[in-house]
């Protein structure tokens, strides 16, 4: 026999807040700053690649001008990378461009506003994992660390923000958690 929650029980459910997870006010503020920084870290390449702001992407290669952000990266991989051809065959196309750009935008906005951190963290960790395994640091050009690179740090920052409910401080996390949608589907927190 399965049990289901009635709508009245769902709406009165206790919302777990960051204060119950992180007891130090200073730590909550540091986590909020880290959340916003990692959010901007994802939002910036979306903006640069979309509009060709001239930092990593010149205007003529902007997505709005016909540029291909995922294809551009994947089609220039070192052929010695063992998974390069697989990722090229699956993601080096307009759908791959859309998924990559949508991921950057969604992760960046979610982290900056502090809502939907679990989804953003899972999506971001998946993106960082793909970017790591498509260009393994011990193959090709020498790096400063043959095992770890910045993708690990970025993925961990996303996870830390999600598990510590960092969106509650200086973000919309507390409000987001109190919505009926998130009360019914806690994984959206």
> pLDDT by residue (tens digit) across 128-155?
999 999 999 999 887 889 999 999 999 9
Residue 111 lies in a domain: yes
Q: How far apart are CA 43 and CA 124, in angstroms?
A: 12
Residue 1 lies in a domain: no
- Residue pair 37/107 in contact (Cβ under 8 Å)? The answer is no
The pLDDT value recorded for residue 18 is 97
Residue 50 lies in a domain: yes
pLDDT at 4 over 70: no
The pLDDT value recorded for residue 13 is 58
Residue 73 lies in a domain: yes
CB atoms within 10 A of CB 178: 13
Give the domain extent around 102: 24-188
| 7-49 pLDDT, tens digit each | 444 444 578 999 999 999 999 999 999 999 999 999 999 999 9
Taking residues 42-58, report their average pLDDT. 97
Q: How far apart are CA 162 and CA 106, in angstroms?
A: 14
pLDDT at 5 over 60: no
Residue 7 lies in a domain: no
pLDDT at 80 over 70: yes
CA nearest 135: which of 123, 122, 149, 115?
149
Q: pTM score, two decimals?
A: 0.90
Residue 10 lies in a domain: no
CB atoms within 10 A of CB 92: 20
Give percent of the chain above pLDDT 70.
93
Q: How far apart are CA 151 and CA 173, in angstroms?
A: 25
Residue 54 lies in a domain: yes
- Residue pair 97/75 in contact (Cβ under 8 Å)? The answer is no
- The domain total for the chain is 1
Residue 8 lies in a domain: no
The pLDDT value recorded for residue 143 is 82
């Amino acid at each position: 026999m399965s049990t289901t929650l009635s709508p009245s029980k769902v709406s009165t459910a206790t919302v777990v807040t960051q204060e119950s997870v992180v007891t130090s006010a200073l730590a909550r503020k540091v986590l909020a700053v880290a959340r916003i920084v990692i959010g901007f870290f994802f939002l910036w390449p979306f903006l640069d690649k979309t509009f060709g702001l001239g930092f990593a992407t010149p205007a003529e290669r902007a997505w709005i001008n016909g540029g291909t952000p995922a294809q551009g990266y994947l089609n220039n991989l070192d052929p010695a990378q063992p998974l390069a051809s697989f990722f090229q065959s699956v993601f080096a196309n307009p759908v791959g461009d859309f998924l990559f750009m949508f991921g950057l935008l969604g992760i960046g906005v979610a982290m900056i506003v502090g809502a939907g951190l679990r989804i953003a963290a899972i999506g971001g960790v998946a993106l960082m994992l793909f970017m790591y395994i498509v260009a393994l640091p011990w193959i090709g050009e020498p790096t400063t660390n043959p095992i770890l690179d910045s993708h690990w740090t970025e993925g961990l920052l996303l996870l830390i923000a999600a598990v510590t409910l960092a969106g509650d401080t200086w973000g919309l996390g507390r409000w987001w958690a109190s919505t009926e949608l998130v009360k019914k589907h806690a994984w959206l927190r």
